[in-house]
Structure 1
């Protein structure tokens, strides 16, 4: 008879998986090193998650911020600018930084054909673009193609965050992120 799942232990393992990915990366990740890092066995990880891919996706789901809530009540440019700046200017420490580092790795891995991460990555991108599109539409119902504006903003910020992780040039990337947000949220030229 299979052992019942200890849900508290499962949650601890998922948190540890995120820490492992942030520290060691997603490339060529295998169960044995993750299990050793977590103080368990690869057999136990299979018991809790079934496959390595299922474990990784479950861990990622625990890190997904509620982007819909971040923009749900935004109906003016200043609030949107403040929310974007707070959420997406560089936070180099803590859980937000860990989540961003892991998300960037997953987005890269999702580009590989038949990637098990593609559905997760697709959903994450669509959620933030949709939420931002809705906020931009509330702010200016006459805005021409708010979805492309949201896509440009989200993709630009993602690229800037990746630039920062690669170069470590905090001052330059932070200035560029603020400039992108200011430009994207500026009122239309008259």
Structure 2
């Protein structure tokens, strides 16, 4: 008879998986070193999650922020500009930075043909674009193509955050964020 799942332990493991990826990266992820890091065995990870890919997607799902809440109630372009400018700081420090760092790794891995992360990455991008499109439409109904504007903004922010983590050039990146945000309005 299979051993029943300990849901509290499963949640603990998922939190540990995110910390591991943030600390050591997704590219070289292997079950044995991950299991050792988590204080368990690779067999137990398979018991809890099925496959490595299923485990990673489950861990990512625990990190998904409420995107709609980030932009809810914003009806003023200046408030949106401020919120986006602040998001650079929030997404590069503290606990949010772990989620964003892991998400960026997954988005990169999803570009490989046949990636097990394609569906997750597609959904993550669609959620962001939809929320931003709705916000831009609410703020300025005269924007000719709000979905394209939202795509440019979200993709640009994602790019400058990744650039900052690679280069650490805060001054250049801050200027770039401000330029990107101000281009829309």
Common topology (TM > 0.5): yes
What is the Cα-based RMSD across aligned positions, in Å? Answer: 1.2
In 2, distance between residues paired with 1:181 and 1:99?
A: 22
Give 2:102's aligned residue: 102
User: What is the DSSP-based 3-state SS (H/G/I as helix, E as strand, rest coil) of the residue aligned with 1:63?
Assistant: coil
In 1, distance between residues paired with 2:80 and 2:158?
A: 17
Residues 89, 178 of structure 1: 8 Å contact kept: no
In 2, distance between residues paired with 1:35 and 1:180?
A: 42
TM-score under structure 1 length normalisation:
0.93
* Cα-to-partner distance string for 1:95-132 (whole Å, 9 max, x where unaligned): 11111111110000000001110111100111011100
User: What is the DSSP-based 3-state SS (H/G/I as helix, E as strand, rest coil) of the residue aligned with 1:15?
Assistant: helix
Q: Which aligned runs of 4 or more in structure 1 are off by greater than 4 angstroms? A: none
User: What is the DSSP-based 3-state SS (H/G/I as helix, E as strand, rest coil) of the residue aligned with 1:57?
Assistant: helix
Can you give the 5+ residue segments of structure 1 that lack an aligned partner in the other structure?
A: none
TM-score under structure 2 length normalisation:
0.96
Can you give the 5+ residue segments of structure 2 that lack an aligned partner in the other structure?
A: none
* Cα-to-partner distance string for 1:6-33 (whole Å, 9 max, x where unaligned): 1111111000000000111001311101
Give 1:60's aligned residue: 60
Give 2:116's aligned residue: 116
The alpha-carbon deviation at position 165 of structure 1 amounts to 1.1
- How many residue pairs get aligned? The number is 185
Q: Which stretch of structure 1 is more off in the superposition, 52-61 or 78-87? A: 78-87
In 2, distance between residues paired with 1:35 and 1:50?
A: 14
